Structure 1
């Protein structure tokens, strides 16, 4: 911890210890762009704001590592990487202009490329955090082959602030791919899933996919978009082969770059047009080989079949979770409608053994229950 940032972290530690002593709780807040994700926290909880603790601590382009404080704007990190021809390959969504690095890790959400490059946790090399005792701890490091101790740094990815206040993160970064292309095919969902399964069985530089019913031109058209990234020769060869396998066309990369961004940020028309105010956006994570599912509303498919988005009422949750479980996955109420009951379960309840492990982890990191109580639901 540098002398410059020590006062901020020390003040947070005092705030945490005082909350623990008083038996109160704290709401951890970065850019607050993902507050919709998970059960809502009580509005009157005192806030611990992390945005004041920002700045890129170190960036070693030749080592493919960047370290930043938790409150650093995500856009600032991406701009610094782009200047060096590098990127966060997992394409974390911002969901707003104030997204932070700490919030990115705490939410653990990845974008369109997740199925081919990995998730947020796969790129977290090390973290510093304050636990529920106000202790400033360091886990992991700044190298890719760090095998000392438990991999707690990756455990924090997707923890939703339930284990501690992340103060600093070291991330693996990657060079921007030399070449990129997006292909578009008019295929029904079953044909698109079957074709994606065939392509996944070959050494093609597949990076992302998106299937959707496009009704922007009038009559709905089932469209499959596939993004390729890699060496120029590999991308060109893959385009030739895939367009021979199925009738389609190559898209303008300058245009599709914005479309892929809109897919990850959920600003595509599909995400902006719920069938009714009573519909929520559900996310079903399933095996990519899962066939077309019998879902109650409009659907968008990502991750080569592994991610199914569907608009459905909150009371469809039990049926959706049963469908997802039968396909080897789970269902999340990703965006709840405005009038959703507070008791509505956002996440699939864990199995009893896993729930016990999660509870024990939380007690170790946060024995007084200071951080984001109930952020998961079902007693976590």
Structure 2
């Protein structure tokens, strides 16, 4: 049973009261991703009451939903129409919301082949730091000049405004899907992935767990079967990809802090302290380690990447510290959209 309720007036009133009293707000849905980033001190602004699918036209491949809508509810509506969110966002909890999906900006195994959360945001409604409820973007793909504020909300962790509604581009589910695994070392696996990336091989997910290269093939029946025959390997339970996305594999149960290294494509195998799981065909590497932040980030930066800590409290600065030019841009953007600095202050960086 779906529930729909427009609580935008109540949310706007709470924001305006916070602006008048200069009270910081801690914007949150279910809290399924509250472990990401720095802790926020402030009055809770819970968006979960503002929920429901506003419009959905499967023929137009567009769905619009309020921020407090459970992500599972939105995905169920899409699934019933044979469609999906191509970015495969993780939930990290049963109550995960659409707003939390956008705020965290996290994508699943399909990201390199289909795009990130940001790529599918068409338009938004946002309560701004001036106490106004405004609409940005639209419900069709189009080019825009200047900042695309709707897409800036993806991965902003609620620091730029209160997201109340979002329109998303969706896609049909693939006609055929099969998963397989090959016993191959990481170095050879990365070479194979680079090779296949230059060819019409319908890969939609790839990871290496230390022993096996795990692949998912999606598309038309002919192309999937041809690739399956060419690559070989053994069958893999399709549930592996959701377990990876939701961080429920045995690898993630390790008590050591979890780091995500985001690296350039085709980065070779790295000598990392601890245990690692390679995702996104090698561009994303999960690391379980007791090494300090300086060591982990030093390795990532050396090859042109960056590192984020996914374990709350393991480091004072979970996200990669910004360079001076980037910090200046972040401050300018924050000042323009949230001049009083009341939205999730310090969630991403202590300086913002």
Secondary structure, in 3 states, of the residue corresponding to 1:282? strand
Is the Cα contact below 8 Å between 1:140 and 1:146 reproduced in 2? no
Matched, 1:283 2:268: no
Matched, 1:181 2:181: no
1:377, distance to aligned residue in structure 2 (A): 2.0
Which residue does the alignment assign to 2:285? 308
Kindly provide the CA deviation profile for residues 190-222 of structure 1, in whole angstroms up to 9, marking residues without a partner as x: 111111111112111110011113xxxxxxxx0
Which residue does the alignment assign to 1:366? 338
1:319, distance to aligned residue in structure 2 (A): 1.5
Is the Cα contact below 8 Å between 2:5 and 2:52 reproduced in 1? no
Q: Which runs of 4+ in 1 moved over 4 A?
A: none
Match of 1:82 among 58, 79, 82: 79
Matched, 1:229 2:218: yes
Is the Cα contact below 8 Å between 1:16 and 1:133 reproduced in 2? no
Which residue does the alignment assign to 1:348? 320
1:25, distance to aligned residue in structure 2 (A): 0.3
Q: RMSD of the alignment, in Å?
A: 1.5
CA separation in 1, counterparts of 2:199 and 2:79? 30
Match of 1:161 among 158, 175, 181: 158
Is the Cα contact below 8 Å between 1:281 and 1:335 reproduced in 2? yes
Match of 2:293 among 301, 304, 317: 317
- Which TM-score applies when normalising by structure 2? 0.96
CA separation in 2, counterparts of 1:361 and 1:150? 10
Kindly provide the CA deviation profile for residues 146-185 of structure 1, in whole angstroms up to 9, marking residues without a partner as x: 5366311111100000001100000000000001111200
1:311, distance to aligned residue in structure 2 (A): 0.8
Kindly provide the CA deviation profile for residues 276-296 of structure 1, in whole angstroms up to 9, marking residues without a partner as x: xxx210000001211111111
Match of 2:193 among 192, 196, 216: 196
Kindly provide the CA deviation profile for residues 108-133 of structure 1, in whole angstroms up to 9, marking residues without a partner as x: 00011111111000000000010112
CA separation in 2, counterparts of 1:327 and 1:378? 26
Matched, 1:249 2:224: no
Matched, 1:137 2:125: no
1:51, distance to aligned residue in structure 2 (A): 0.5
CA 1:375–1:178: 2 relative to 1, 3 Å:
same
Secondary structure, in 3 states, of the residue corresponding to 2:30? coil
CA separation in 2, counterparts of 1:126 and 1:316? 40
Which residue does the alignment assign to 1:97? 94
Kindly provide the CA deviation profile for residues 213-234 of structure 1, in whole angstroms up to 9, marking residues without a partner as x: 3xxxxxxxx0110111111111
Secondary structure, in 3 states, of the residue corresponding to 1:13? helix
CA 1:5–1:183: 2 relative to 1, 3 Å:
closer
Unaligned runs of 5+ in 1: 214-221
Give the paired residue count.
Answer: 349
Kindly provide the CA deviation profile for residues 213-268 of structure 1, in whole angstroms up to 9, marking residues without a partner as x: 3xxxxxxxx0110111111111111112222xxxx2233xxxx2321101000001
1:5, distance to aligned residue in structure 2 (A): 5.8
Which residue does the alignment assign to 1:218? none
CA separation in 2, counterparts of 1:41 and 1:149? 30
Is the Cα contact below 8 Å between 2:180 and 2:216 reproduced in 1? yes
1:11, distance to aligned residue in structure 2 (A): 2.1
Is the Cα contact below 8 Å between 2:19 and 2:131 reproduced in 1? no
Unaligned runs of 5+ in 2: none
CA 1:36–1:144: 2 relative to 1, 3 Å:
same
Match of 1:262 among 243, 250, 254: 243
Is the Cα contact below 8 Å between 2:5 and 2:49 reproduced in 1? no
